[in-house]
């Protein structure tokens, strides 16, 4: 069993990619370590919670089963490298939660349920919070992130931290998704030489592989929905402001958001119900642009909507769904799967408006987005370091740049830090050029984009392919991105629910339900109805790397 404290490895070593001794599972499920537990690769939160509540299983046995599965798959077997660190207190915490249940006290739908957190989310415990960078290794944070605190209060067991694209993939345009100096290279569980996508790579892989039923990811543009697509799971990118970013190592306060990753819409809805909530410390808690539209319908004990109430198997009936063809065209396979999904929705009673003219799509200047992210990065990192790691010798982006330059073998064996240098040169949050870019981004994506087309056509949601099937990993040249449909929603700060829709050559392909600010309940209702009828999720097979895609191996 690999050490549950962090094992620091040299990123250029065999640990970065599956080595010659990796043992693919040849398409066979990994045996469950505890026969009395539901199979970890398929068990739902509701099933686990019912078993816990009825006394059929204990939370500490569930946690041990998760730890055993991680032990079998993450540093041995297929060598997925999705987990960067395990919580040494997880079993003890689970035992305390077992005692509460035995005394008749339940904290809610996540009581005793293991959850993995992306390693840019602060936990004031024995684990580290590093964004995958060795620059922050060993640094203690002063307090939990807001979402961490909500999970603890809800009785979730924080099992560990997941690997990610280092610094949430904002260091270099030539990076490889899923690689970090601290964690090495996470790989796709469907075929081990394919890209897990990023930056919430480890969270997506861990959920798909059955390490835990739930994980938390973060997104600035694509970092929840893209790995969910690559690994064939459900991801929810919430409206900016629905979930607090306080305590999360930032990129952009205009676009960053925290969301659930799970194997089903119901599981993701349960997690969103817990982590959503007004946080006065987060300036976005009033909604995109400070609109003050935060949902007011409360579920007892949490203070935000009960997203489980949105689950409706007949939820597609009568819905008006628009098809923005401007967001198609990057993958013939993804387009075909999406068209089949749309036909399925029509049969389920939805009215499909195809096409709708999303005029903003070709007008977006993605250089504006990069300008906003890089300008917001420098002060955001400094504020996080001062507020959550005050004893850290690293206190600024300039310090991080110097650390990487002083440790090139560990931190820059494959790509460098061009974006960091550009961010260091930015002029600050009162720079007129930055403010103009931010205004253009929001005007084109909101009033001139998603809000406009949804209002004009009286739509409940837009549907488009989330992304292409995962390409090959390439640490030499960096990522190749065939394309995706989430950019406008990212710029607007609006929600997306991505759900499995099928497979192309053995690799998963998702579709995305997109809406306006705080339309999560509607999107969950539609995605759940589609998911329940289509049953498109399938656990991965851990196939060895090959020139041929999985379906032809």
**Cα 475 to Cα 492: distance, rounded to the nearest angstrom:** 32
Looking from the CA of 150 toward its CB, the CA atoms found within 13 Å total 27
The pLDDT assigned to 288 comes to 63
The pLDDT assigned to 172 comes to 98
Measured CA distances, 151 to 94, 130, 272 (Å): 13, 20, 10
Main-chain dihedrals φ then ψ at residue 170, nearest 5 degrees: -115, 15
End-to-end CA distance of the chain: 30
Which amino acids are annotated catalytic? Answer: 118, 199, 223
Measured CA distances, 487 to 268, 326, 365, 514 (Å): 22, 12, 11, 11
| Closest-CA residue to 447 (of 369, 516, 537, 371) | 516
Predicted TM-score (pTM) of the model is 0.92
**Cα 183 to Cα 11: distance, rounded to the nearest angstrom:** 8
The Cβ of residue 532 has, within 10 Å, a number of other Cβ atoms equal to: 18
**Cα 498 to Cα 461: distance, rounded to the nearest angstrom:** 12
**Cα 32 to Cα 25: distance, rounded to the nearest angstrom:** 14
Where are the strands (E) in 91-243, listed by range? 114-118, 157-162, 179-180, 184-185, 214-219, 234-237
**Cα 405 to Cα 402: distance, rounded to the nearest angstrom:** 5
Which segments in the chain show pLDDT lower than 70? 1-38, 40, 286-304, 553
**Cα 445 to Cα 258: distance, rounded to the nearest angstrom:** 20
| Closest-CA residue to 272 (of 284, 285, 257, 287) | 257
Long-range contact pairs involving 135-139 (C-beta distance under 8 Å, separation at least 24): 135/394, 135/399, 135/400, 135/403, 135/404, 135/411, 136/389, 136/392, 136/394, 137/6, 137/8, 137/182, 139/389, 139/391, 139/392, 139/394
The two tokens of residue 380 are 């955001």
User: How many degrees, rounded to 5, is the angle at CA 209 between CA 208 and CA 211?
Assistant: 110
Helix or strand run (H / E) with residue 450? none
- The residues that bridge with 321 in the sheet, in sequence order, are 352, 461
The pLDDT assigned to 20 comes to 26
Helix or strand run (H / E) with residue 338? helix 332-347
**Cα 423 to Cα 431: distance, rounded to the nearest angstrom:** 13
Main-chain dihedrals φ then ψ at residue 197, nearest 5 degrees: 65, 165
The residue written with tokens 């098809």 in the block is: 323
How far does Cα 210 stand from its chain's mean position? 15
Compute the residue count for the chain. 553
| Domains within the chain, CATH numbers bracketed | 45-552 (3.90.1300.10)
- The residues that bridge with 511 in the sheet, in sequence order, are 465, 499
Do you find a cis peptide bond into 513, omega within 30 degrees of 0? no
The pLDDT assigned to 359 comes to 83
Q: Calculate the CA dihedral of residues 36, 543, 484, 476 and round it to 10 degrees.
A: 130
Helix ranges (H only) for 364-450 are 366-388, 397-406, 408-411, 418-424, 432-442
The two tokens of residue 403 are 């650390």
The two tokens of residue 398 are 């300039």
Residue 151 makes CB contacts below 8 A (sequence gap 6+) with: 110, 115, 117, 158, 216, 274, 275
DSSP, res 351: E
Residue 282 makes CB contacts below 8 A (sequence gap 6+) with: 146, 241, 244, 245, 246
| Closest-CA residue to 246 (of 121, 159, 133) | 121
Residue 6 makes CB contacts below 8 A (sequence gap 6+) with: 84, 85, 128, 137, 182
User: How many degrees, rounded to 5, is the angle at CA 94 between CA 93 and CA 97?
Assistant: 90
């Amino acid at each position: 069993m690999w050490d549950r404290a962090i094992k620091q490895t040299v990123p250029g070593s065999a640990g970065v990619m599956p080595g010659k001794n990796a043992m693919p599972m040849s398409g066979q499920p990994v045996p469950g370590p505890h026969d009395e537990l539901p199979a970890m690769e398929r068990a739902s939160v509701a099933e686990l919670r019912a078993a816990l509540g009825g006394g059929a299983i204990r939370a500490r046995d569930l946690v041990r089963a998760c730890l055993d599965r991680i032990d079998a798959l993450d540093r041995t077997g297929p060598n997925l490298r999705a987990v960067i660190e395990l919580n040494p207190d997880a079993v003890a915490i689970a035992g305390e939660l077992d005692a509460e249940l035995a005394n008749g006290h339940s904290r809610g739908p996540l009581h005793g349920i293991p959850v993995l957190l992306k390693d840019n989310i602060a936990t004031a415990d024995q684990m580290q919070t590093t964004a995958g960078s060795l620059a922050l290794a060993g640094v203690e944070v002063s307090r939990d992130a807001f979402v961490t605190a909500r999970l603890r209060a809800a009785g979730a067991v924080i099992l560990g931290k997941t690997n990610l694209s280092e610094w949430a993939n904002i260091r270099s345009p030539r990076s490889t998704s899923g690689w970090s100096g601290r964690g090495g290279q996470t790989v796709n569980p469907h075929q081990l030489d394919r890209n897990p996508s990023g930056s919430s790579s480890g969270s997506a892989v861990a959920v798909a592989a059955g390490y835990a039923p739930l994980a938390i990811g973060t997104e600035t543009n694509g970092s929840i929905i893209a790995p969910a697509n690559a690994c064939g799971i459900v991801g929810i990118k919430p409206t900016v402001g629905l979930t607090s970013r306080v305590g999360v190592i930032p990129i952009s306060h205009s676009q960053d958001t925290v969301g659930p990753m799970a194997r089903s819409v119901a599981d993701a809805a349960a997690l969103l119900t817990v982590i959503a909530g007004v946080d006065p410390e987060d300036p976005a808690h009033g909604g995109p642009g400070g609109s003050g539209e935060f949902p007011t319908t409360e579920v007892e004990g949490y203070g935000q909507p009960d997203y489980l109430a949105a689950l409706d198997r007949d939820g597609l009936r009568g819905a008006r769904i628009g098809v923005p063809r401007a967001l198609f065209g990057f993958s013939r396979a993804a387009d075909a799967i999406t068209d089949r999904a749309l036909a399925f929705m029509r049969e389920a009673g939805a009215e499909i408006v195809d096409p709708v003219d999303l005029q903003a799509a070709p007008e977006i200047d993605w250089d504006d987005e990069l300008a906003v992210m890089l300008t917001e990065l420098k002060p955001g990192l400094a504020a996080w370091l001062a507020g959550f790691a005050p004893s850290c010798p690293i206190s600024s982006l300039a310090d991080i740049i110097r650390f990487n330059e002083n440790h090139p073998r560990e931190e820059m064996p494959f790509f460098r830090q061009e974006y960091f240098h550009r961010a260091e040169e930015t002029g600050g949050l009162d720079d007129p050029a930055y403010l103009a870019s931010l205004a253009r981004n929001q005007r084109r994506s909101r009033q001139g984009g998603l809000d406009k087309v949804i209002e004009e056509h009286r739509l409940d949601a837009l549907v488009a392919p989330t992304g292409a099937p995962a390409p090959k990993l390439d640490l030499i040249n960096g990522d190749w991105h065939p394309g995706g449909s989430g950019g406008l929603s990212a710029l607007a700060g609006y929600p997306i629910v991505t759900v499995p829709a099928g497979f192309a050559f053995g690799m998963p392909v998702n579709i995305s339900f997109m809406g306006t600010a705080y339309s999560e309940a509607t999107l969950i209702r539609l995605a759940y109805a589609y998911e329940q009828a289509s049953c498109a999720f399938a656990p991965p097979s851990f196939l060895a790397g090959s020139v041929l895609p999985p379906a032809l191996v």
